[in-house]
Structure formats: C-alpha cells, structure tokens
Amino acid sequence: MSDIILPGLIDVHTHLRVPGGEHKEDFATGTAAALAGGVTMILGMPNTSPPLSTPEALQNAYAQAQADARCDVGLFAGASPEQIDRLPELASHAVALKIYLNDTFGPLRVEDVPTLRACFQTWPEDKMIAMHAEKQSVAVGIGLAAVYGRPVHFCHISRKEEIELIADAKMRGLPVTCEVTPHHLFMDETDFARLGPLGDMRPVLGTPDDVAALWAHLNDTVDCIATDHAPHTLAEKWSETPPPGVAGLETSLGLMMTAVTQNRLSLDRLIQLMHANPRRIYNLPEQPDTRVEFEMTPTVIRNEAMVSKCGWTPFDGVEAVGRVKRVVLRGEVVVEGGKVICQPGFGQVIPV
C-alpha cells in the first residue's frame, strides 16, 4: 500500500518538563519525540518546577525552547492563586492559559472562586483557557464559559458522564471544546490492573463503558486527539510514590491510523482531530510546506524504539498499522526513515 500523506500534526497537550524535570524530558528530546510521531507543533504544559505561573519562569522556559526545540512549540501559562495579579503579564509569552481544577502531578491548583473569576476577567479575550477538569468540575468549567461568554477547552476528557455533559453544553450552543487521549481510547481499567503504575495517569483509565462513550462521541462531540504526553522515568514509576502520567507523542498517530483502518473514524476525521481543530481552537499559525508521510507497514510499538527521554510506553508490544517514515517541516526534511535529523533550535516558538 502506498504511503499516506498527512498535514503536520498538532498536539495541544504535551509535558516537556522544563524547568525542573529535565531528567524526564527536555525541549530537545520532547520535540524529537514529537517529530518521530508525526507531530510538528506542540503546546507545552505549565506544571513544571517552578511552574510557568510567573513572567520570569515563563520567559526562561520560552528562551530555553527557542534554543532547544526541534519542532514548533507554544507554552501554556499556569493559573495560580498566589500569582493571579500578574496573570495578564504572562500572555505575551503564552499561547493559552491552563487552569487545574483537580489533583494531578505538580503544585498548580485553583480551588477558589475569586481566582477563577480573575482568570476569566483578566486573561486576554483572544487567548484560550484550557482546564484540567474531572467529573463535576467539568460543570464548573461549562458554567464559567456560560457566565463570561468565552470559550473553554477541556483537556483529556475520559468519562461517559463528562463527554455527555459536554455534548449537552454544545447542543445548547455554549462555547466549549474538548480533547481525548489515545490512552483513554485504547486502554481501560483492566489495563491498569495489568500495567500497575505504568498504567496510572490523571484522569485514571476509565471503565469499558467510559471508553465506549468516548468512541461513540468521537465523530461529533470530541474536537481533538491530544496525547497528554507526560513522561516520567521507569525508576520513578516503580518507586514507592509513582507519579501519574505516560508518554504518548510517538504512539498517537499509529494507534489512530489503526482505528482508521478499522473504520472507527475516517482519515478526514483524523485530520480534523489531530490538525485542523487544534489549530482553529488555539488560533495557531500555519506551517507552510509541512507534511507527514505515514508508511502502511505493520509495526510493533517497542520501548526500545522510543525517542522520548523516558524510554518507555504503556503500548509496548501493541501492533500498529504503520509508522512515520518522513516528516517535512517548512520545506526541510526533519525525519527520514523514522529518524529525527534536525537539530535543536530548528523549531519556532510561538507567539514568535
């Protein structure tokens, strides 16, 4: 079968671990993993150490990304009650704002109404607000979207009750969008039983019913596939206090293309979910002369093949229908024969 040509994929949910977690991932390795997976633009999350919730931390991360990124990168600013007065200052170096409503990795959390009001009143109107919201917190986010009449994007929606609530909100014309991850589509709680800490992430893997609901809504309610690439070392994952999170940049396209060959979604829909909608929702720049060549050769996903610094994937041993062969970014071949060949600094950081 001939190769399939796709636009450069956009992952709106990646953890790059700079600053403070460079032993897990850094801009050079995380963006190499992205390109190896056919992803030419990523949005980096702010739950670093320190978090990207002060202008200083954000500017430093932005400068480091300019030096080290191999694909294009935008950064999220992180909402924090302690720094809320300085929130507007963060906008010049950020693509969007991230608000964590529920417990997960890192210290960023917003649990009080005054901070939420300040976010919606002072964050620039033309930049997106994204939320880590689970269960009834999704209703909080929908309420804020309605009150302030501005869009909210829900990260990694994983439960039947959540996707159904978002479907209801959309039906009533509220400006909400959402993403789902491949791990919540291709694994469920029985895989957690098998994988132990390697199958632990936030949100946790769902029930088979939850997974069925995500698939059932993939062609209407879901707006994006996003990886929530959250690398941690194997030593950390097997420690007494394993952090939640799994890598995802290198396995996302192969798994989703497998679903295309099983008629679970069309190739056009995949392109909407992994390129067009991410770009529209976050108002991201076009990448001219950029494409991904995907080779339809059955390929077993292997830990040893991972480019991410963490060096493992919960999908080790799973067969995908193909693999990324070549990636062209702004006219330059950046992946050839599956190998990343561009240097750190080739990627652009947005806003430029």
Least distance between Zn ion and beta carbon 209 (Å): 22
Regarding 237 and contact with ligand DOR (CB under 6 A), the answer is no
Given 7, 81, 175, 244, the residue binding ligand DOR (CB under 6 A)? 244
b vs e for 301-333, b when ≥16 Cβ sit within 10 Å of the residue's Cβ?
beeeebbbbbebbbbbebebbbbbbbbbbeeee
Please give the DSSP secondary-structure letter assigned to residue 305: G
Least distance between ligand DOR and beta carbon 209 (Å): 21
Chain positions 163 to 182 lying near ligand DOR, rule: CB under 6 A, are: none
Given 38, 206, 245, 248, the residue binding ligand DOR (CB under 6 A)? 245
Given 40, 104, 181, 308, the residue binding ligand DOR (CB under 6 A)? 104
Minimal CB distance residue for Zn ion = 132
Closest Cα partner for 9 from 265, 300, 225, 333?
225
- Structural contact between residues 51 and 57, judged by C-beta atoms closer than 8 angstroms: yes
Q: Which span (125-133, 171-179, 218-226, 261-269) binds Zn ion, by CB under 5 A?
A: 125-133
Least distance between ligand DOR and beta carbon 200 (Å): 7
C-beta closer to ligand DOR: residue 132 or 326: 132
C-beta closer to Zn ion: residue 102 or 258: 102
How many chain residues touch Zn ion (CB under 5 A)? 2
Least distance between ligand DOR and beta carbon 299 (Å): 26
C-beta closer to ligand DOR: residue 197 or 278: 197
Chain positions 195 to 254 lying near Zn ion, rule: CB under 5 A, are: 228
Q: x/- binding map, residues 194-233, to ligand DOR, per CB under 6 A?
A: -------xx---------------------------x---
C-beta closer to ligand DOR: residue 80 or 272: 80
How many chain residues touch ligand DOR (CB under 6 A)? 12
Helix, strand or coil, per DSSP, at residue 5: strand
Chain positions 6 to 25 lying near ligand DOR, rule: CB under 6 A, are: 15
Closest Cα partner for 221 from 147, 160, 292?
160
Helix, strand or coil, per DSSP, at residue 127: coil
Q: d(Cα 152, Cα 129) in Å, to the nearest integer?
A: 5
Q: d(Cα 52, Cα 79) in Å, to the nearest integer?
A: 9
User: 265-274 long-range contacts, Cβ below 8 Å, gap at least 24?
Assistant: 265/218, 265/219, 267/4, 269/218, 269/219, 270/6, 270/225, 271/6, 271/7, 273/218, 273/222, 273/223, 273/224, 273/225, 274/6, 274/9, 274/10, 274/11, 274/224, 274/225
Chain positions 268 to 287 lying near ligand DOR, rule: CB under 6 A, are: none
C-beta closer to ligand DOR: residue 197 or 322: 197
Contacts of 73 (CB under 8 A, 6+ apart): 16, 27, 31, 41, 42, 43, 44, 65, 347, 348, 349, 350
Least distance between ligand DOR and beta carbon 351 (Å): 24
Q: d(Cα 58, Cα 103) in Å, to the nearest integer?
A: 22
Given 17, 70, 109, 132, the residue binding Zn ion (CB under 5 A)? 132
Partner whose binding site includes residue 46, from Zn ion, ligand DOR, none (CB under 5 to 8 Å by kind): none
- Helices within 12-159 (DSSP H only): 27-36, 55-68, 87-90, 113-122, 137-148
Residues that bind ligand DOR (CB under 6 A): 15, 47, 104-106, 132, 201-202, 230, 243-245
Residues that bind Zn ion (CB under 5 A): 132, 228
